[in-house]
Amino acid sequence: MVFSKLLTADDIENGLSIPRCSLGQLPDQEGLTMSMPIHDRDGQVWIFSCTIKRNDSVGHFLSVGWNKFVRERDLRVDDKVTIHEEAMKKQGTGTWIKVEVNRKIRLFGEDIWADV
C-alpha cells in the first residue's frame, strides 16, 4: 500500500491531497504537473492529472485531479481511498498503480467496508 485515507469534502471537491511523506521521492518543483494512469478494481484505466503543491502546514503534497472518477463512483466524505502498487500480471514486469474505494455500511449491527 502506498497511501490510504478517509476522504474529506476538500478531497472530493478540489482534488485528492497526498502528502509527500506517503510518496517517497517527490520533486520539490511546485507547480510541476504530470498524468498518472490509475487502474480501478475493474481494471479500467483512469488518467489522473497531478500537480505538486505546497502549503505551510504539510509542506509539499501531490494534488490529484480526479473529478470524473469522483462523479462516476459517487464518492462521499468518509469513504476510504487506498492507492497501492501491484505487479503487472500480464506482462510479468513492472508495476501499476491501483485505486480502491470503500464505504462503511452497517449490516446486521456490524460495520463493514464495501467496495464503491
Range 43-72 average pLDDT: 91
Q: Which residues in 40-107 belong to E strands, given as ranges?
A: 45-55, 59-65, 80-87, 95-107
- CA pair distance 92, 2, nearest whole angstrom: 21
pLDDT in tens, 60-108: 888 999 999 999 999 999 999 998 887 555 555 566 789 999 999 999 9
What pLDDT score does 97 carry?
A: 85
Q: What domain range is 18 assigned to?
A: 3-115
**pTM: predicted TM-score of the whole model, two decimal places:** 0.81
Give the chain's domain count.
1
pLDDT at 31 over 80: yes
Q: Which residues lie across from 81 on neighbouring strands?
A: 5, 101
**Once rounded to an integer, what is the mean pLDDT over residues 27-52?**
88
CATH number, domain with residue 42: 2.40.330.10
pLDDT at 16 over 80: yes
Query: Of the candidates 10, 19, 14, 29, which has an alpha carbon nearest to the alpha carbon of residue 78?
Result: 10
Counting residues of the chain whose pLDDT is more than 70, the rounded percentage is 87
Q: Which of 20-29, 83-92, 104-113 has the highest mean pLDDT?
A: 104-113
